[in-house]
Amino acid sequence: MTSGLLIVGGGLAAQRCCEVLRAAGDDRPITIVGAEPVRPYDRPPLSKTVPAGDVCFRPAEWYAERAIELRLGLAACGLEPGRRVVALADGSRLPYDQLLIACGATPRELPALGGFANVQALRTLADAARLASALAGGGPLAVVGAGLIGLEAAATAARMGVEVTVIEAAPRPLAGILGPRAAAWLTALHRACGVVVRTGTTVAAAREGRAGAWAGRAVAPEESGATNVRRLAEPEESGATRVRHVEALELSDGTRVACAHVLVGVGVRPATGWLAGSGLDPAGVLVDEAGRTALPGVFAAGDAACRPDPRTGRPVAGGHWESASREGAAVAAALLGRPARPAGPPSFWSDQHGIRLQCVGDPRDAEEVLAHGDLAGDCFELDHLRDGRITAVLLAGRPPSALRAARARLHVPHIPVRSAA
């Protein structure tokens, strides 16, 4: 009796691994253990559209017909690699022949905003439902963090007519990815669509509304005198059971941002704490190109996995949708004894205010050179140059053929265009 493949985590990497295995005719038993009570689903629509429709990858029959067992709403809590067993939160223990750790990541939290009923992250379907209901109640919405999730959610909210303020500690949005030119364009786009963008400032304190004033309405201005301000260093109130509600954020630059709801999008960390004591790093599992970990028969993919950064050599966790997709498929290839498809350049896409933004390659620390169109027209290509080579191309509002052409010119030495005399 074989135990087959056990997949901890029911997200994209898990789904891709199953898809590739079954498409190849591999019929080993597969069990997916997912912490969320939902079949594997696609996360990008959660921040891109208002009411996410059915985002599940496949209907329940798809799994049943392919002998893929789904154990949902159940978290893993321990790994015993010597016995090849994973312990689950309900006390059961599942054996495996091969294990894929694809349990994803958990949103980072801000200590200043902990414990408030109207503060949330956006990672899961449940988070999306909660945000949709908050947005339906009007605003204003404060978004802390101008990353992809925060910006997309801000764009979605603005489209619904909700007043939105985005607060970012770095001097510009998407600072870890985009250069100053693209970021300035993106900031202008959001502002033109009514989003207030405040960069270079942080949340210094959360102003708490009156107890009981939380139920779907903001505290009326005349009531706001009876508030207290909770400072960053203040410890959690112990034993407090009343529902606490933020009515405004006080920023480090002295600005006060009124809010009925707060979305925190300040990054994620691998949800791999359950691996403590297993021999794998509970801060994120280091893998090779095929997704293999240091333990025999154990693989990792997606946001739970760490890989060496090609530029710095330092292990970095996670990535975007496309890396999770590739890595899940790469693990399947390794299980099939096939060479993995050659990893293409890193890429991501984003939809904001009706404009599709696409990026191929690594745009960090590069010079941005306009290769097509103009930024003011929201239709352009920015080549990113480092050491005389195109390391990335950022495209906005461009057709699919332009994306293919951009992919083809990566790493090609850049030939400066002579300006017309």
Partner 1 sequence: MTLIASIDTDACLAHGDCVEVAPQAFRVDDVAVVTGETTDERMLAAARACPAGAILLYDADTGAEVDA
- Closer to partner 1 at the Cβ: 76 or 392? 392
List, in sequence order, every residue forming a beta bridge with 307; answer none if it has no partner: 316
Choices 105-113, 190-198, 365-373, 393-401 (CB under 8 A): range interacting with partner 1: 393-401
- Closer to partner 1 at the Cβ: 19 or 152? 19
The span from the CA of 93 to the CA of 159, in Å, is: 47
Query: What backbone phi and psi angles, to 5 degrees, belong to 31?
Result: -125, 130
Contact between 42 and partner 1 per CB under 8 A = yes
Tell me how crowded residue 132 is: count the other CB atoms within 10 A of its CB.
Answer: 17
Contact between 400 and partner 1 per CB under 8 A = yes
DSSP 243-258: ---EEEEEETTS-EEE
* CA-based torsion, 311, 316, 322, 324: positive or negative: positive
- Closer to partner 1 at the Cβ: 102 or 113? 102
Tokens standing for 23?
A: 């498409």
Minimum CB separation of residue 151 from partner 1 in Å reads 16
Minimum CB separation of residue 328 from partner 1 in Å reads 10
Contact between 47 and partner 1 per CB under 8 A = no
- Closer to partner 1 at the Cβ: 23 or 64? 23
Judged by CB under 8 A, the residue of 165, 278, 347, 391 near partner 1 is: 347
Choices 1-9, 12-20, 61-69, 182-190 (CB under 8 A): range interacting with partner 1: 12-20
Tokens standing for 211?
A: 């107890």
Contact between 344 and partner 1 per CB under 8 A = yes
Query: What backbone phi and psi angles, to 5 degrees, belong to 136?
Result: -65, -25
Buried/exposed code over 356-391 (b: 16+ C-beta within 10 A; e: otherwise): ebbbbbbbbebebeebebebeebbbbbbbbbeebbb
Contact between 43 and partner 1 per CB under 8 A = no
The span from the CA of 289 to the CA of 301, in Å, is: 10
Contact between 37 and partner 1 per CB under 8 A = no
Contact between 230 and partner 1 per CB under 8 A = no
In 84-146, alpha helices (H): 125-136
Judged by CB under 8 A, the residue of 108, 404, 411, 412 near partner 1 is: 404
The footprint of partner 1 on residues 106-125 (CB under 8 A) is none
Q: Which residues bind partner 1 (CB under 8 A)?
A: 16, 19-20, 23-24, 42, 57, 321-322, 325-326, 329, 341, 344, 347, 349, 356, 358, 399-404, 407
